[in-house]
Amino acid sequence: MVCVLKLGVVGLGYVGIVSSLGFAELGFNVVGVDVDTARVESLSKGRPPVFEPGLEDYLKRNMKRAGGSGGGGVAVFTTDYTRLLGCDVVFITVGTPPREGGGQNLEYFEGAVKMLREVGFRGVVVPRSTVLPGTTERVVAPLFEHVGYNPEFLAEGSAFRDFFNPDKIVLGYSDGVALEALRKVYSPFNAPKLELGVREAELVKYANNAFLALKVAYADEVGNIAKKLGVDVYRVMDAVGLDRRIGRAFLNAGIGFGGSCFPKDLAALIHLSRDLGYEPVLLDAVLEQNRRQPLMLVDLLRTRVRERLGRPSLRGLRVGVLGLAFKPNTDDVREAPSIRVVSALLDEGVEVHAYDPRAEENFRRLSPRFSSNVVYHATAKECVEACEAVLILTEWEEFRDASLYGGRLVLEGRRVLGVEGVCW
C-alpha cells in the first residue's frame, strides 16, 4: 500500500507512543513530539520509557525500518515542533489529567495546540486525548481551519492489540478536508467507521468509558450482595453475561476500577453535566460505589483476622500486598485500588509489605508514606513469607501459583486463586 500522508503525534504517553509506532507499522511516516527530552531520547534509542507488552519489539522493528531494512513507515521522535511542518495530519495525545474538583486540566492540551500554531502548522489537527465535548471546538477550531477528533479505545496492557484490532473507529470532523484525511489514515483498517461531528465524537469516548465503569461498579455491587447471601458472584455473572444484550465483558467483580481513564473521565463528565445544569445521579453513584469498594477488602481482612488469628485489631499485623498496579501487565498505578487499600492499612497501624513485578517504583513515587512506610520485596515468595496475612490486589499471572502461600490467610481483591475474596 502506498501511504501518501505524513502523520504527526504530539505527546508521547501510552497513547502517543502506541499510535506513532502503530501508524508507522502500517506504512505511514510519523513524527512523534514530546517536551520531555529524556523520553524522546529513550524512544529514539529504542528503549521503552513505559512498560507495555510488545512495545520493545515494535520499537526494534521501527529502528530496523529506519535503518533502511524492509522498507515501510518510520516513526521518528523529537522535541522539535517544527518537524511537524511536513505533516498532513497531527494527532494530539498529551495527557488531560483531572483538576481538583473534578474538571479537566487542559494546560498541556492548550499548550500543545498553541505550539502547533506558533510554528505555523497548516494541516489537519486531530485531538486524540480525551477532552470534554466542546473542547476541540473551543480550543482548536479558532486556530486551525481543518479540525477533527478521533477518540482512542486503547486499554493499557493490550494497547497494540487494541490499536490494530479496534471494535470501531470514530472519525469526528468539522470540514471535508479533515474527513478526507481521516478516511485516508484509517483506510488500512476494516473495523466499522463512524463519521460524526466533533462534539459527538468527543462524547462517544466519555459515554463508552462511563458505561464500562458502570458495568464494573454494577458487578461489584451485585458481588457485595452475593457475598452476604453466600453466593459466588462469578457463577452468577457467567450466567448473566450470556445474555447477548448484556455480555460478559467488564463484569468481573473485585476491588473496583482504577487507571488513568475511568475515574478521571467519570469525574470530568459529572463536572460538565453539573455545569450544564443537570445532576447526574447515576454517574455519581458509580464513582461513590467505586470509592468504597477497595475498603470492603480491608473490612473483610479485619473480620477474618479476628476470627482466624484471634487478634482484636489489625495493629502490628504483618500484611503482604501482592500487586500495586491498577491492573496486570502495566506499571501504571494511577487511581489504583492499591492506593486506598495500602493507605487504610497504614492508618490502622499494619506493617505493610508489598510486591509488584512492575509497579513498585511508580507506587513509591506516589507519596512519602508509600516510599518509607512500606517494606518492598523483590519476589512474591519473599513478600508472602514475611507476612501473616496476604491480600491479592492485581491479577498478575505469577500470583496464581497456589504453592506460594503456604497455608496463610489469603484474601483476594481480584479473582486469582478462587480462595475467599472481597465479594466471593
Residues found near ligand UDX in the complex (CB under 6 A): 11-16, 34-36, 39, 93-96, 108, 111-112, 129-130, 152-156, 209, 212, 216, 250-252, 254, 257-262, 326-327
The answer to whether 337 and 293 are in contact (CB under 8 A) is yes
218 CB neighbour count, 10 Å cutoff: 18
Rank residues 62 and 104 by Cβ distance to ligand UDX and give the closer one.
Answer: 104
Greatest alpha-carbon span in the chain: 71
Minimum distance, C-beta of residue 277 to ligand UDX, in the bound complex (Å):
25
CA distances from 141 to 114, 148, 321 (A): 12, 9, 48
Smallest separation, CB 152 to ligand UDX (Å): 6
Minimum CB distance to ligand UDX, residue 73 (Å): 21
CA–CA gap between residue 150 and residue 199 (Å, rounded):
11
d(CA 204, CA 167): 13
**How far is it, in rounded angstroms, from Cα 36 to Cα 42?**
10
Over its C-alpha atoms, the chain yields an Rg (Å, rounded) of: 23
Least distance between ligand UDX and beta carbon 208 (Å): 7
Q: Closer CB to ligand UDX, residue 58 or residue 257?
A: 257
Task: Count the neighbouring beta carbons within 10 Å of the beta carbon of residue 339.
Answer: 20
Shortest CB 242 distance to ligand UDX, Å: 15
Residue 87 annotated in active site: no
Residue closest to ligand UDX, measured at CB: 13
Specify the residue, 112 or 178, whose C-beta has the smaller distance to ligand UDX: 112
Residue 354 CB contacts under 8 Å (≥ 6 apart), including other chains: 320, 321, 322, 324, 342, 360, 363, 374, 375, 376, 377, 383
Handedness of CA 309, 315, 318, 319 (dihedral sign): positive
What minimum distance in Å lies between the beta carbon of 312 and ligand UDX? 32
Q: Please identify which residue in the block is written with the cell numbers 481521516.
A: 182
Closest to ligand UDX by CB, 127 vs 320, is 127
What is the CB neighbour count within 10 angstroms for residue 363?
24
> Exactly one of 87, 261, 383, 387 is catalytic; which is it?
261
Calpha distance 182→125 (Å, rounded)? 10
Name the residues annotated as catalytic: 261
